[in-house]
Amino acid sequence: MNADTPVTGAVLVACPKCHSLVRVPEARAGEHPKCPRCKAPILSGEPVALDPVSFAAHVERATLPVLVDFWAPWCGPCRMMAPVLDRVAAQRATELRVAKVNTDEQPQLAGRFGIRSIPTLILFREGRELARQSGAVDAGTLGRWLERALV
């Protein structure tokens, strides 16, 4: 059985370090699974920086929903959102992956998704965009937005 074969009760998650796809049984997601290839924690609860190659693994091939923050280091509202996203990543580690795309370093990804302002958050599931939010938001607003979008 390969990583592209669906299994009931399991999610495909890309490793935050080596970006290999790993099948994680949903019932065992809270047990801190490790990547069989590089031994890194799969559901680390930390945002993952993405480039075009890792974007494909995490967003397009994995089945765990991914919240992507399109940001830039010079952007004040982006810096304000960082601790909020860090908390979401830690609190929802088994439900979704939080990822970051630096639009200065990855302009092709920003262009591909029509990013016109930052921060812009896009929630993906299995490569499809579920919802989009532009501008900084507080933790409560972000949590409510995620709950509506993940239904």
C-alpha closest to that of 57 among 19, 5, 10:
19
User: Buried (b) or exposed (e) across 42-61, using 16+ Cβ within 10 A?
Assistant: bbbbebbebeeebbebbbeb
Token pair recorded at residue 61: 């091939």
User: Which is the catalytic residue, given 15, 18, 35, 75?
Assistant: 75
Q: Among this protein's residues, is 15 annotated catalytic?
A: no
DSSP string of 64-118? S-EEEEEE-TT-HHHHHHHHHHHHHHHHTTTT-EEEEEETTT-HHHHHHTT--SS
35 as an active site residue: the answer is no
User: Which of 46, 58, 126 has the alpha carbon at shortest distance from 88?
Assistant: 46
Catalytic residue annotation? 75, 78
